[in-house]
Amino acid sequence: MSGIVDKGWETQRRIEERAKRVGKGKYGRVLRMARKPTNEEFAKVVTVTGLGLILIGALGFFIYLMMTAFPDWVAGLFK
């Protein structure tokens, strides 16, 4: 039973060591400067992301419609 407990303590120690090094590595400065966005910033990001998704989806749907409704015409464009 003590083998399991020792493994648990060793795992806990490794996790704590990694947590201590988080702010000191390659991305430490970025993590220290990062902050939670305001509600206004978050709303803008969500809006722009949603519009991008809708635009890309609409473009894909348009291509799908062109390929199913006018396959001969589309094929003629690439001859």
Say what the pLDDT of residue 44 is: 98
Say what the pLDDT of residue 47 is: 98
Distances (CA, A) of 79 to 42, 66, 67, 72: 47, 16, 15, 11
pLDDT in tens, 54-68: 999 999 999 999 889
Q: Is the pTM of this model over 0.95?
A: no
Question: Which residue type, as a one-letter code, is found at position 17?
Answer: E
pLDDT in tens, 6-63: 899 999 999 888 877 777 777 777 777 888 999 999 999 999 999 999 999 999 999 9
Tokens of 19: 């947590």
Task: Inform me whether the pLDDT recorded for 1 exceeds 70.
Answer: no
Cβ neighbours of residue 28 closer than 8 Å, sequence gap 6 or more: 22
Angle at 23 between CA 22 and CA 28, to 5 degrees: 110
